[in-house]
Amino acid sequence: MLARAVVSCMLAGTAVAFAQEPAPAPAPGSATAGAGQNLKSEAKTGVPANMVGAAPVKLESGGLYDEGSYTDILDWIKQTKFHGNLRAYFFAREDTGSKSPLGENSFSLGGYAGFLTAPVYGLQAAFTLGAANSIGVNPKPAMPQQLANYGNYHGDMSLPSGSFWVAKEAYMKYTNRYFMVRGPDQVLDTPWIMPSDSRMTPSSWRAVYGELYPFKDHDNAELKKLSLVGLRIFDFQGRSDTTYLANNLYMPGHMQGQAGLAALNNQSTPGALAFGAKYGTSKDALSAQVWWHQFYNFSQLLWLDGSYLWKTGTGFDPLIGAQFANQEPDGSNMLALAKSSGGAAAATQAYGVIAGVDTQWIRFTAAWNDIVAKQGTFQNGNLVSPYSWGYATDPLYTTMMINGIIEKNTSGQAWKIAGTSFFMDKQIKVILSYASFYLAGNANGAAGNGWASTSYVNGSSNETDADVTYFFPKDSALDGLSIRNRIGVAQGNQSRGHDWYERFQIQYQF
């Protein structure tokens, strides 16, 4: 019934809504590898590197626009890019076996509007404002504490409650032939600092971000594919937050339905620093990237990710990929305060491999990840991911819709199979995936032998996801409108039986 109401609201044009919920992040072979899912097919439904998503500025000779590029101020305004999105989102979850189940059947209606000005001497300005509202259809709280904590209760705490207004982008951008820099308020899209746009709004950051193209004029075509990236984060705004704060997802206070680590309440962090080098794009057979991150007072992370798609010309293109992470503690090591999560410091390595085949009918992949278990470290050696923990949007190949190894709060291994197929001239996209997790910890869910406790049966669990999207024809009056439904079932959690999620979404991008 609620799903039908969502459709009626959207088609009646009564909504304002936020940026597209992306399909699971692209796997190797795409511009930003992630979650090992569905490789090149995902780019069409994901949030771009920034929300305005404007095409790269076509620079004139010498690398700069001059004021003579515009006949007058009206011509300049005509070349300014305006954008918007309408989204109606129905979210349901059920945790069977729980004595205090989470809220279910939550709904949100909202949208965004913004602009990116045309450049003057390479300088542009961007602003994006979003809004959302539950329109009074959500159920009463299942637990009084939820109402006390969040005031205007909205059923599931990962959706914005009541009226929700938020500025997600407000930045200046300078571009010339050899580099680009922008800041401060923006959406970032790197392997470990990602939009996580799986509810009404993406995460955003108060930061300075830049790209360098050192071989733009080189005769070697392969060298031209190399770019360098640097960023400095100062503050963070989660996917359901309305303000920027000097913290991350391990700290309580974010309105996304997860508690954070209680020991870090009222703590703050200076943010993060990252540098990367990227080679190739989703259109290239070979793509690779290497990153170094400093999450201040949490961890330092080295990340390597690469893939190769062998374009045989036969209609059957094999693909392979690999990823590696090395993590060390940083600064004052705030994680040492989190005794209930194993305390100690972040220190581990992680490995991953993926293989598959791309055909005209289906793209099939099989992937494996291992986060090396280490006694006496934070969460048995689990990777620390300050901007995705609880969101399940990290770049590991085996991360699923509901969770990945990182959300299990312990180290371990996982394997995953996934298939993506298109029908009706690519108007329908279907993604099916299954993952199984083998987790470090005591099999009975109690601490022992140096491991922190885990609530998963025999240290293992599994998840099955189905994702179906219908895109209206591009030559119709409804071009830009899509209907998407995602269903996930995670099993193996002793305390809650199994988790069942449904995410039904109608959106119009313009």
Instruction: Examine the pLDDT at 287 and tell me if it is beyond 70.
Output: yes
Find, among 394, 393, 405, the residue nearest to 436 by Cα. Answer: 405
All residues at 6 or more sequence positions from 313 whose CB lies less than 8 Å from its CB, including other chains:
none
Q: Which of 3-12, 186-195, 489-498 has the lowest mean pLDDT?
A: 3-12
User: In whole angstroms, what separates CA 141 from the centre of its chain?
Assistant: 28
Report pLDDT digits (tens) over 437-471. Answer: 988 875 444 444 445 555 555 557 899 999 999 99
Class of domain 73-509: mainly beta
Which sign, positive or negative, has the C-alpha torsion 373, 374, 376, 382?
A: negative
Report pLDDT digits (tens) over 292-339. Answer: 999 999 999 999 999 999 999 898 999 999 999 999 999 888 888 876
The three-class DSSP label of residue 7 is helix
All residues at 6 or more sequence positions from 97 whose CB lies less than 8 Å from its CB, including other chains:
495, 496, 497, 498
Integer Cα distance of 72 and 91 in angstroms:
48
Task: Centre a 10 Å sphere on the Cβ of residue 105 and count the other Cβ atoms it contains.
Answer: 17
Read off the pLDDT of each residue in 353-357 and give the average, rounded to a whole number: 97
Element (H, E) at 74: helix 73-78
Q: Which of 46-50, 104-108, 411-415 has the lowest mean pLDDT?
A: 46-50
The three-class DSSP label of residue 504 is strand
The answer to whether 90 touches 104, Cβ cutoff 8 Å, is no
The answer to whether 294 touches 272, Cβ cutoff 8 Å, is yes
Instruction: Examine the pLDDT at 69 and tell me if it is beyond 90.
Output: no
The three-class DSSP label of residue 5 is helix
Q: Global pTM? A: 0.82
Tell me the residue length of the chain: 510
Cis status of the peptide bond prior to 101, with omega within 30 of 0:
no
* Res 257: pLDDT: 54
Confidence of residue 344 (pLDDT cuts 50, 70, 90): confident
Instruction: Examine the pLDDT at 289 and tell me if it is beyond 50.
Output: yes
- With tokens 């399940």, the residue in question is 392
How far is the first Cα of the chain from the last one, in angstroms, to the nearest whole number?
28
Integer Cα distance of 34 and 47 in angstroms:
13
Confidence of residue 44 (pLDDT cuts 50, 70, 90): very low
Q: For residue 250, what are the CA distances in angstroms to 26, 83, 261, 390, 435?
A: 25, 33, 6, 9, 25
Read off the pLDDT of each residue in 334-351 and give the average, rounded to a whole number: 79
* Res 281: pLDDT: 78
Compare 472 and 252 and report the one with higher pLDDT.
472
Question: What is the Rg, in whole angstroms, of the alpha carbon atoms belonging to the chain?
Answer: 22
Integer Cα distance of 162 and 134 in angstroms:
6
Instruction: Examine the pLDDT at 393 and tell me if it is beyond 90.
Output: yes
Integer Cα distance of 466 and 487 in angstroms:
5
* Res 161: pLDDT: 62
Confidence of residue 355 (pLDDT cuts 50, 70, 90): very high
Integer Cα distance of 46 and 60 in angstroms:
29
Integer Cα distance of 299 and 318 in angstroms:
36
Instruction: Examine the pLDDT at 243 and tell me if it is beyond 50.
Output: yes
Integer Cα distance of 467 and 433 in angstroms:
9
The answer to whether 306 touches 280, Cβ cutoff 8 Å, is no
pLDDT averaged over the chain? 79
The answer to whether 461 touches 445, Cβ cutoff 8 Å, is no
Among the ranges 9-18, 59-68, 274-283, 413-422, which has the highest mean pLDDT value?
413-422
DSSP 179-219: EEEEEEEE---BTTB----SSSS--EEEEEEEEE-TTTT-S
Q: Which two tokens stand for residue 264?
A: 């870090």
Instruction: Examine the pLDDT at 176 and tell me if it is beyond 60.
Output: yes
- Give 379: exposed, middle or buried? Use CB within 10 Å, 0-12, 13-18, 19+: buried
All residues at 6 or more sequence positions from 186 whose CB lies less than 8 Å from its CB, including other chains:
50, 126, 169, 171, 204, 205, 207, 209
* Res 339: pLDDT: 66
